[in-house]
Amino acid sequence: MKNIAVFASGRGTNFSAIARAVRKGIINANLALLVCDRPGAPVIAKARRARVKVVLVKRKDFSSPAEFDSELIGHLEENKIDLIVLAGFMLLLSREFVEKYKGRIINIHPALLPSFKGAHGIKEAFDYGAKLSGVTVHFVDEKIDHGPIILQQQVRVEEGDTPESFEARVHKVEHKLYPQAIGLFLEGKLKVEGRKVKITL
């Protein structure tokens, strides 16, 4: 059985969705590790309740990016991690780290990439007045929110939506789409061809 590591910094709603999918057998893998960079992040308590090993790594504790990478890599190798799942991890991974794990790091973004890149995709789409946004799961490369797209799903901005109601619907789609994408990866159904991802069912 393959091993997953989730990297997260915040509330952990996608972590919880992934943990549920593992528990129900939707994702056939071992959720082996949570990597978090914020000591007070709610995701840590969620991981402990799910009996998932927690590793806390704070960037400021290391004198260089290379030392930080070495610490991360040590934990990943110790736990024999096959797939790294970014779920609201607010540290930018180094080019060297991304290159080492190329094709084995995926991320979820709350907008239809390439639109509304960055940390505030939901708010920016809503404030812009977009009628349609959504969710993207993609492989991670050296650029922000740029790697080959695995899955996307649209979310419409409905009449009468508030930023909060729209955000809630986007998150609901995230919690369904991310486990689906992880499952496709683990089943060997994703093949990257340049900037495209081919899904074989």
Q: Which domains does the chain have, with CATH numbers?
A: 1-101 (3.40.50.170), 107-201 (3.40.50.170)
Catalytic residue among 75, 109, 120, 171: 109
pLDDT tier for residue 186 given thresholds of 50, 70 and 90: very high
Q: What pLDDT shows up at residue 194?
A: 83
Per-residue model confidence as pLDDT tens digits over 139-151: 999 888 899 999 9
List, in sequence order, every residue forming a beta bridge with 83; answer none if it has no partner. 4
**Residue 118 predicted with pLDDT over 90:** no
Q: Tell me the C-alpha distance between 177 and 180, whole Å.
A: 5
**Residue 167 predicted with pLDDT over 90:** yes
Active site residue 171: no
Q: Tell me the C-alpha distance between 89 and 99, whole Å.
A: 18
What residue type is assigned to position 183 of the chain? Answer: G
State pTM to two decimals: 0.95
Q: Which residue has the higher pLDDT, 191 or 201?
A: 191
Write out the two tokens for 173: 């789609």
**Residue 195 predicted with pLDDT over 90:** no
Write out the two tokens for 72: 């991360």
3-state secondary structure of 167: helix
Round the average pLDDT of the chain to a whole number and report it.
Answer: 95
Q: Tell me the C-alpha distance between 182 and 24, whole Å.
A: 14
